[in-house]
């Protein structure tokens, strides 16, 4: 099956096929849900490139998320130099960067996307807390959106106006996704000292970051905080709905599935409530599987639009 995907993508050289296949295996291991959705619902010619872009984003995040601030800053500088060299020469000793160079050669528009993502990664390296909601919004627009657009940019419609509208809808989508991430990972983030809920939002419910530890958390106020932040994410999800209609028809099953899975995430977060200070949350695998199956059936009956 994967061999046919590579054939349909026009990837013929044996070394290049092996390189894409290695990245496919890696992504299947560390991001099984995203991998499954892409393999089932995206057009075959796009699948190898999306796999590589996800692998590159994961490798970047892994490198810049270790150690203290100077170590993270140094890691980003070094990784950027290696990425620039790979894109300039079309080759790299690093398997992810080598595959990235192949994908950028296939889709030259990605060169700017990669640059924007690495520019935004400076914010990911530096943040430890958000004092205001405006700071959260700047983080999402500066880092989360370029990260999402690495792969979503390949699904955008042609034409400047359509592409701009698609990216605005993607901003709403990734805002919802990032806010749900911050809620799902609240327990771990508090433990690591990097909380994604702003001081401003906490203060509205009479809370500080010190109140978010198990045993210290006032359950009623934390539950109200989670409900309020989930409402914000849900509003952004609603604003993101045009992303489906703006995309070419072949990309719509995947985008509908993405939106529905975010709705399931929001439902799970809302249900978890105050327990998020002790353990993470996430949608049920069965629920996500049902979403993918529904879109497969819908595509099979020709109702992609």
> What was the pLDDT predicted at 213?
87
> What was the pLDDT predicted at 302?
65
> Within 10 A of 203 (CB to CB), how many other CB atoms are there?
11
> Within 10 A of 122 (CB to CB), how many other CB atoms are there?
17
Give residues with Cβ within 8 angstroms of 132, minimum separation 6: 198, 199, 200
Residues 31 and 82: their CA atoms lie apart, in Å, by 24
| Cβ density class 277-305: b for 16+ within 10 Å, e for less | beebbebeeeebeebbeebeeebeeeeee
Give residues with Cβ within 8 angstroms of 36, minimum separation 6: 292
Dihedral pair phi/psi, residue 206, rounded to 5°: 70, 35
Domains by residue range for the chain, with CATH: 1-126 (1.10.600.10), 129-305 (1.10.600.10)
* Regions in the chain scoring below 50 on pLDDT: none
Return the bridge partners of 195, or none. 129
> What was the pLDDT predicted at 299?
81
């Amino acid at each position: 099956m994967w061999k046919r995907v590579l054939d349909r993508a026009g990837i013929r050289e044996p070394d290049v096929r092996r390189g894409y296949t290695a990245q496919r295996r890696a992504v299947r291991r560390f991001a099984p849900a995203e991998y499954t959705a892409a393999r089932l619902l995206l057009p075959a010619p796009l699948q190898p490139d999306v796999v590589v872009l996800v692998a590159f984003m994961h490798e970047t995040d892994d490198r810049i998320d270790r150690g203290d601030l100077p170590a993270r800053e140094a890691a980003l500088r070094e990784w950027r130099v290696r990425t620039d060299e790979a894109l300039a020469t079309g080759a790299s000793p690093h398997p992810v960067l080598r595959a990235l160079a192949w994908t950028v050669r296939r889709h030259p528009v990605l060169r700017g996307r990669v640059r924007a993502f690495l520019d935004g990664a400076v914010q990911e390296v530096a943040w430890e807390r958000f004092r205001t909601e405006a700071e959260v919004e700047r983080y999402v627009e500066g880092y989360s959106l370029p990260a999402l657009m690495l792969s979503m940019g390949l699904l955008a419609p042609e034409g400047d106006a359509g592409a701009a509208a698609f990216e605005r809808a993607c901003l709403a989508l990734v805002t919802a996704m990032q806010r749900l991430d911050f809620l799902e990972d609240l327990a771990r983030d508090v433990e690591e000292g990097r909380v994604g809920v702003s001081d401003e939002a906490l203060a509205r419910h009479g809370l500080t970051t010190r109140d978010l530890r198990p045993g210290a958390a006032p359950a009623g106020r934390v539950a109200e905080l989670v409900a309020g932040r989930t409402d914000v994410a849900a509003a952004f999800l609603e604003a993101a709905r045009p992303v489906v209609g703006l995309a070419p028809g072949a990309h719509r099953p995947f985008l509908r599935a993405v939106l529905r899975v975010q709705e399931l995430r929001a439902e799970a977060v809302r249900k978890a409530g105050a327990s998020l200070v002790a353990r993470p949350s996430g949608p049920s695998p069965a629920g996500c599987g049902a979403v993918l199956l529904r879109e497969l059936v819908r595509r099979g009956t020709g109702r992609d639009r």
